Structures are given as structure tokens and as C-alpha cells.
A and B are shown apart, each in its own frame.
Chain A
């Protein structure tokens, strides 16, 4: 047999082997036929292994900015307030709180008998210390913004904290979900401005959260053990191991082999690779809408895009359903504005833009784009309607959306060139310098609806977040009013109107809110799916005794 034929044969064999390795034949997936029949009596013990997509950068989340660090940090630390399953604020370290009518004064009553992981008692002094850390100019934190309007923070007694604001600030209460830091350990570092260099950022962090730190091997794993003194009750699962696995393909294989108990799946894995019986017995899926929406941003300083009709035409030209089906395989919800459906600020009664190429053509024609040139591209005054669509290199999703948009626009007569640029360069050279025509990005939505920083016309300098250069006086006014009140009903009125205006204006083309797709081993009970996700009540998760998998430790 000639080498060439041998190669072909080999290739064929390999391909066949792979085809044969479909998901169904996995014998090592724990079928646990008895799992559903076991009584769900809470029991202490067992280890839960979660796959983490990236390495954490430290153990003091206040001075960090990446998702994995926050995920782990939230197990170790607590804030004064937190969120319940419906994304409403509830007390964590604060048992209760009172706000004055003018929204300027807040009084927090702290829980008593809360101890730091090293045994030291948690008191109001720690709260004051955390505040001072956040606003200290030497502390390298990105989250000082919400504490700037604070006038004073005083420890009235060891269990009462009084916060006074200079002016009403909508995000005030939300900002007190910031992780509380131990004064008795970190004060010297903060005073010197060396919080990042503190040993607690590398090992042995001390918090008040449900789990205590056990080990961090960089790039490999983080191990946490249950905090028996946790103020909401000792967590049932005694040990949590985060395995740092950057590749989603590998994570999936580990899931199938039982090497991890919980992970986030990709859309493809969720939809097409996990529908077979053995998997469904061994794992349970808990999809929920994430707090992130993807959008197409247009530089409003560009005269072509300053015309609202053009933006509305784009909105009509884009087939959001196609994008959701194509990129997320249906696992996303259309976004009509910057708020997530199901949350209190969301307003469903806004103008929508169903896919309508004819309408899009009309709108473009009204804006002057009537004729087409020899290549089929619309022209106006001799200028063809073509632009660059930038997307970040790290985002597969963004790229795919861009490719679908490119194809849709082609039918319309608009030529789109896609440019994939590495994130650091994209941020510095294009986003900050406002040197873009169109860009694929996403925004995270915080529980508090204040989005002043994104939409207000004063926030357009290079370092600020109004990247598209949006300026609408009515919107500015609504943002200011919304921010200065702390009465939900009042704020809702402003934000409802805000959504109406934004829908009409289409400063960005809102695309979709993606869904998070976590799966957890079926032996874990106590999970209550909610709009906010599943991990909010991790301390209540347990594994019934007969199903314990890891009995050592």
C-alpha cells in the first residue's frame, strides 16, 4: 500500500473511531439508578468538585476584577447585605437596616456572634475599616465609585453602623454587598497601600463566609472547607474543590468521567451532547438567564449612525431569533432594553423591532440610502454604506453573532467587514479612543437599575463608559432622577420611561440575554433554581448519606 493510501486509510479509521465515540456509550458516568429513590435527608459531609474556567488572581476580591476570583471570594467573604433568590436585597451580616425618608441616612444593625474564620469577633469596626479601605486612594480597587457619595460611616456601637450620604444615591444599598474585610489583620497593609501584597491575598484569607480557605495551588485548584460557625448555619457539604480547567472541551469530559460534580456547559454541550439517559440520570441541568446582554454598538459620532432611522433600520434587519438559534442554540432571551426580563425594573411595553427587511430598506431609503452601486451596496452621495465591525478575540460568541449580522446586512446592501482584535488592544486603541464604527460587546446588568455611567451624556470621556457617545437630555434627566431616589415605585416610573426612550432611539441594538447553563451532579440535593441562579443557597446544598462519594475529608 502506498504511503498516500495508507494515510487515507488511517484518516478514515480515525474518523470512524471518533464517530463511534458518541456520547451514548459512556460507561463511567454514574448512572446512580438508585439516586432518585433515596430519601432526601440532609446530611453533613462529602466533597463537591466544581470546574472553574479560569485561574483566580487572588483571595481578596475587593482588589481584583475577574469572575473566578469573585466566585471563590463570595464563598469566603460576606457583605452587609446580599441577594435572595429573586434578586431582592436581604440581610447578610446586617440583620436589618433602616433608611431615612430622604435616602441620606442608613442605619445597619449587625448580627451578633459572628466570628471571623480565625475566631475574632466581627464588629462595626470592621465595617468602618472596609469602607475606609475602599475609599483610600492607595487601595487599588475598581469599586470605589459607589462609596464616593458617602459622607461618613460611623460605628455607633459594636453592632450598629450609621452611614450618611452627601446626596441620595440609588446604588447605595447595593454597594453594601461589598465583601467585608478583617480590620485586625489587614489594617497595616491598607495603610501602606499594599493590600495586594498582603499575605491574605495569596493564602489564608480570613472572612466571615460560609466556607473557609484551605488551599490554593495556582492554576490548579482552590480548596475550601465548611465554616462550622457560619451565621446562617454550618454548610452541609464539608469540602469544596475548585478545579481550574480552562478548556470547555476538557471540562465536559471530566464531567462525563465523574471527575467534576458541577460545571457550566456551552450551548452546544447543553443542547446536543447531554440529552442521553445516562447523563440525565447522573446530572441535573439548571439553566437560568444570566445578567449579561450582548449588543451591537454603533459609534454615534459617525454621521451615518447619528441618524436614528439608520439604527432602527439595522434593528429591523437583524433577525434576533436567528442569532439566538444560531449562536446560542435557542438558549437565550431577546433583549429589548438594558434590563433583564423578570426583574423589577423591566418594562415589557416598549417598541420592538421584528425582523423585517422591507421596513429596514424603507428606513434606510428615508435616510438617504436609496441607490445601490455595482456591487449591490447602498450608496449615498457616492459613499457606500460599509463599515468595520470589531469584535474581541476572546469571544467566540461575539464572532459568530458578527458573522450572522454580516450575512443579514449583505442582503440589505450594507457591507460589513469583521475585524477580530485582541482585547487589550481593542480596549486601548479602539474603544477608549472611540476609534470604531461598530462593535460587538456585552454589558453586565447589576441588580440595581442605575445605569447612569453608561447612558449619561457626561460620561463620554475616553475612560468612561458611554462609549458610543449617546446624548439625550430626556435620558439624562431620567437617569438623574432615578439615581436620587430610594423609593422603588418612584424609581420604577423613571426607569420605565427610560426603557421606552431607549427602545425608540436604539443607541445600541440590544440583542439577547444569554442563559447560564450549569449542571450539577444529581446526588446533590437542596438546590432551588431561581432567577438569580442556583448558588445563592450553597450552604443548604447537601448529599444524602448513602450517596456520599468522597468520604475522606
Chain B
């Protein structure tokens, strides 16, 4: 994972070819010494495109999930802590967003604004916060009744302080897990959008659109599908394992060996 991130950042320096320059003499060349991962349908080097694509795909993953998580935490905390009407309002908002035609929002945004990787990230983020919100709300509902909260309330601490300092750190475990699961989902969503032609604009490469362009050449250009696929797979696996690892480490209920205690309330 760290490996991938480093490669992505270093892409402009280490990419051997211009990722965006077509070269018709080299259409769909097999992997060779000059082009270790082959060339695509316009003769561009796949390795270079993969490297640049890593930046796009990873960025999409991080930022959109980041946005979604922030929104989700904010709304979920509000709902879980205050309960009552705020809770009801937020949950109904969740219902609305679940039904919401995200596709249309995307179409509208892409048509009106200059579609860039940012608009895509924001749209995915804006429409994907619901599960985080639910999780946070559920955690808050249980944690709210705990002693340390009641104690803070009794000494007159403000709601914000209570949430921020006491409840949130304890609620973070499932959130972290959701984040790590969300990143690959966001990457796959971007890939799906590329399938429908709505992903990152050409000639910019992303793993999703390399995959998508490769589907028409699956038999003779297997490298166009294999390599992005493997890259996505590795990313997905690593993030998921990371997420589960975090969960296992932080949640005392899952502790296997009795020795390791992570202090939770401060």
C-alpha cells in the first residue's frame, strides 16, 4: 500500500514514456523490454499510464471517502447524541439520499461544470456518506449512556466538547473500518463511471478507464485488463486488511490475548 502510494507520487519522475501521447505505430503491443506492461489502443505506454493512473485512482479513493466520512461523522454524531427530532430529521435525510439519483447529479455536474477529478470526487463523496452516518449514530446511541458521558454532562461540559473529546474517539473504530472499506469502493465506483463514459476526462488515465478501454480488446490486449485489475485488487485487499486489522486492534471485545490493553477512556 505504501509502495503504491510512493509510486503514485513519484510517477512524473519515473514514468518512462509520456502517458498521453498516442503513437499509432505501436497499437496494442505486447509487453516487452521497452514497454514492460504493453501499449494501449492508441499506442501509449501502459506502465506510464498506470503510474499516473495510480495518482488519480488513489486520490479519488482518499478524497471522496474523506468527504463522505466527514459528512457522515457530523450528521451521525448529531443524530446519535441529540436524538429526538434531530435524529429523525437526519435519518430521513439518509432515506432521501439512499434513493437519490446520484447518476443525475453526476450528469448535471459534469455537463455544467468543467469536469475534473475534483468534481467527481466531490459527487461521490456527497452521495456516499450514509453508511458512515448510520454507524456513527449507532455508536453514539450506545456510548451516550455510558458513565463518562453522564459525568461530563453533569459537570456542565458543552455538547460539542463531549462529542469531540469523549465519545468520538471511542466511536472511531467502526468509522475507520468503514473508511478503509470505502476507499476501494470509491475506486470501483470511479471505474464503473468510466464504463459509462463519465469518469476522468481523456486523455487522463485512471485505472478505471484503462480497464474500460481495455474491455474491447480483451483477447488480444489482455494486459490492459490484467494490470489495472491486479492493481485494484491489491489496493482493495490491502485497505480491507488494514481496516480489519485496525478494528481487531482497537476493539477490546475482540482481544485474543489478554495482555494487550489499549486505554480507551481518558
Which residues 310-333 of A have a CB within 8 angstroms of B? 322, 325-326, 329
Which of B63-71, B72-80, B217-225, B254-262 binds A?
B217-225
Whether A268 lies near B216 (C-beta < 8 A) is: yes
Which B residues are CB-close (under 8 A) to A418?
Answer: 201-203
| Shortest distance between the CB of B110 and any CB in chain A (Å) | 7
Residues A425 and B111 in contact, CB atoms below 8 Å apart: yes
The interface bits of chain A over 187-212 (1 if a CB of B lies within 8 angstroms of the residue's CB, else 0) are: 00000000000000000000000000
Q: Is the CB of A7 within 8 A of B114?
A: no
B222 pairs with A268, CB closer than 8 A: no
| B223 lies within 8 A of A15 (CB) | yes
Chain A 403-425 per-residue mask, 1 if CB under 8 angstroms from chain B, else 0: 11011000000000011111001
A4 within 8 A of B: yes
Annotate A332-369 by CB proximity to B: 1 below 8 A, 0 otherwise: 00000000000000000000000000000000000000
CB–CB A393/B22 < 8 A: no
Contact in complex: A4, B237 (CB < 8 Å): yes
CA of A421 to CA of B226 in the docked complex: distance in angstroms? 28
Known: A403-B203, A407-B22. A3 touches B226 (CB 8 A): no
Cβ of B201: which chain A residues have Cβ within 8 Å of it?
418-420
Chain A: how many interface residues by the 8 Å CB criterion? 40
Taking a contact as CB atoms under 8 Å apart, the answer to whether A18 and B197 are in contact is no
Report the minimal beta-carbon distance from B219 to chain A, rounded to whole angstroms. 6
Question: B222 to chain A: which residues have CB within 8 Å?
Answer: 15, 18-19
Q: Interface size class for chain B?
A: 35 or more
A115 in contact (CB, < 8 A): no
Query: B226 near A394 (CB under 8 angstroms)?
Result: no
- Chain B hits for A426, CB < 8 A: 111
Closest B residue by C-beta to A18: B222
* CB under 8 Å from chain A, chain B span 159-210: 196-198, 201-203
Q: Is A154 an interface residue (CB 8 A)?
A: no
Q: Which residues of B contact A394 (CB under 8 A)?
A: 197
> Nearest-CB distance from B167 to chain A (Å)?
34
B120 within 8 A of A: no
Chain A residue nearest to B231 (CB atoms) is A11
Q: How far is the CB of A534 from chain B (nearest CB, A)?
A: 24
Q: Does A266 contact B (CB under 8 A)?
A: yes
A463 within 8 A of B: no
Residue of A nearest to B114 (CB): A419
Q: How far apart sit A325 and B26, CA to CA, in the bound complex (Å)?
A: 11
In the complex, are the beta carbons of A403 and B218 less than 8 A apart? no
How distant is A271 from chain B, measured CB to nearest CB, in Å?
Answer: 10
Which residues of the partner chain A approach B130 to less than 8 Å between Cβ atoms? none
CA distance A402 to B20 in the complex (A): 12
Residue from the list A18, A400, A419 in contact with B115, Cβ < 8 A:
A419
Q: Mark A355-392, 1 if CB is under 8 A from B, else 0.
A: 00000000000000000000000000000000000000
Q: CB of A101 within 8 A of chain B? A: no
B24's partner among A268, A326, A421 (CB-CB below 8 A) is A326
Question: How far, in whole Å, are A266 and B41 apart by their CA atoms in the complex?
Answer: 13
Interchain CA distance A4-B216 in the complex, whole Å: 29
Min CB distance B235 to A, Å, is 11
Whole-angstrom distance from the CB of A165 to the nearest CB of chain B?
A: 42
Cβ proximity bits B213-246 to A, threshold 8 Å, 1 near / 0 not = 1011111101101100110011001100100000
- In the assembled complex, A151 has its CB within 8 A of some CB on chain B: no
User: Which residues does chain A contribute within 8 Å of B225, judged by CB atoms?
Assistant: 18
Please state if B41 and A421 are interface contacts (CB–CB under 8 Å).
no
Chain B, range 19-41, C-beta contacts under 8 Å to A: 20-22, 24, 27-28, 41
A65 on the B face (CB < 8 A): no
Query: B237 touching A268 by the CB < 8 A rule?
Result: no
Query: What residues of chain B lie closer than 8 Å to A406, measured between beta carbons?
Result: 203
Whole-angstrom distance from the CB of A416 to the nearest CB of chain B?
10
A266 in complex: contacting residue of B21, B22, B115, B216, CB < 8 Å: B216
In the assembled complex, the Cα of A7 lies from the Cα of B241 at a distance in Å of 13
Give the contacts of A1-38 with B (CB-CB under 8 A).
3-4, 7-8, 11, 14-15, 18-19, 21-23
Residue in B20, B24, B223, B237 whose beta carbon sits within 8 Å of that of A325 in the complex? B24
Is B2 interfacial (CB-CB < 8 Å)? no
Given contacts A248-B216, A326-B24, contact A18 B234 (CB under 8 A): no
Pick the contact of A21: B114, B198, B219 (CB < 8 A).
Answer: B219
How far does the alpha carbon of A429 sit from the alpha carbon of B222 in the complex, in Å?
Answer: 38
Is A467 interfacial (CB 8 A cutoff)?
Answer: no
Q: Can you identify 28 A-B contacts, CB atoms within 8 angstroms?
A: A4-B234, A7-B237, A8-B230, A8-B234, A15-B222, A15-B230, A18-B218, A18-B222, A19-B222, A21-B219, A249-B218, A268-B28, A268-B220, A272-B220, A322-B24, A326-B22, A393-B196, A394-B197, A396-B216, A400-B22, A407-B21, A418-B201, A418-B202, A419-B114, A419-B115, A419-B201, A421-B110, A421-B111
Closest 9 CB pairs of A and B: A425-B111, A393-B197, A326-B24, A11-B230, A15-B226, A18-B222, A325-B24, A403-B203, A404-B22
Which residue numbers of B lie inside 8 Å of A, CB to CB? 20-22, 24, 27-28, 41-43, 107, 110-112, 114-115, 196-198, 201-203, 213, 215-220, 222-223, 225-226, 229-230, 233-234, 237-238, 241
Binding site for B on A (CB under 8 A): 3-4, 7-8, 11, 14-15, 18-19, 21-23, 248-249, 266, 268, 272-273, 322, 325-326, 329, 393-394, 396, 399-400, 402-404, 406-407, 418-422, 425-426, 429
Q: A8-B230, A15-B230 are in contact. List 8 more A-B contacts (CB 8 A).
A: A7-B234, A11-B230, A18-B222, A22-B219, A394-B197, A403-B20, A418-B202, A420-B201
